Amino acid sequence: MIKKAFAGVVLGAVVLSSPLAQAERKAMIAPDLYSFKVSHEGDMVEIMRNQNPDNTISELYSTTFRGTPQAMNPFAPHDVETLGEREFTSYMMDAQKDESIMIVDTRTVGWHARLTIPGSENYPYTLMDDKDDMEDALDDFGVVVEGDNYDFSKAKKLVMFCNGYWCGQTPAMGRALLEAGYPEEQLKYYRGGMQAWTSLGLTVVGEAVE
């Protein structure tokens, strides 16, 4: 009896691991969520996980010897929420109908052009190095700039990401915004960034898309 039961378990495992079974199973983003659409540069893009069982991570993120892992909250003592994919994709969907939410790619222009998350807007962290550039960005973020005074009462919720756990671009951007007075509750940090996003086979856009 035990041998028969064990044989059944083995057979079940073989069936589930077969190419046909894998092809029939779908990779979900969240329970009962297989895809959703966002607007990116005037086009609607469907966000989903690559359904090909043989899909591999982008070469841009295939190496592991890079950077120092960021703290879960690199903005301490400010309490900026760190997001996982489920929370991040929820904000992506909310941003489609709520203009007070922005998905912000904080990486430099070259990184953004090569590969990015659909629906994101590029505001490189380097903008914070120049007062005029920073104030232009703050204006886009809903902040009222009056001389040297900033009114953050209508500041948008910025859901920021960069290259991944090891990347310091979003932490640099966030710290500069906080120093300028941006409300901590209006900043969100997707720590996994492009590294985590591509490892899950989620939809990307850019020059490096095969």
Residue 6 lies in a domain: no
Residue 63 lies in a domain: yes
Residue 25 lies in a domain: no
Closest CA to 88 of 206, 188, 178, 203: 188
Q: Is 75 in contact with 178 (CB distance < 8 Å)?
A: yes
What are residue 26's phi and psi, to 5 degrees? -110, 140
Residue 15 lies in a domain: no
C-alpha distances out from residue 204 to 30, 47, 131, Å: 18, 8, 32
Residue 142 lies in a domain: yes
* pLDDT at residue number 131: 96
* Whole-number Å distance between alpha carbons of 165 and 199: 12
- Name the 3-class secondary structure at 90: helix
- CATH number at 169 reads 3.40.250.10
Q: What is the CA radius of gyration of the chain?
A: 20
Range of the domain at 152: 35-199
* pLDDT at residue number 24: 57
Provide the residue count of the chain. 210
Closest CA to 96 of 47, 140, 164: 47
* Whole-number Å distance between alpha carbons of 110 and 117: 14
Residue 172 lies in a domain: yes
For 207, other C-beta atoms within 10 Å of its C-beta total 8
Give how many domains the chain has, as a whole number: 1
* pLDDT at residue number 13: 39
Q: Tokens 């998905």 sit at which residue?
A: 103
What are residue 189's phi and psi, to 5 degrees? -120, 110
pLDDT in tens, the chain (210 residues): 544 444 443 434 333 444 444 445 789 999 999 999 999 999 999 999 999 999 999 999 999 999 999 999 999 999 999 999 999 999 999 999 999 999 999 999 999 999 999 999 999 999 999 999 999 999 999 999 999 999 999 999 999 999 999 999 999 999 999 999 999 999 999 999 999 999 999 999 999 997
Residue 112 lies in a domain: yes
* pLDDT at residue number 18: 45
* pLDDT at residue number 63: 92
Closest CA to 42 of 119, 104, 115, 103: 119
Residue 69 lies in a domain: yes
* pLDDT at residue number 25: 73
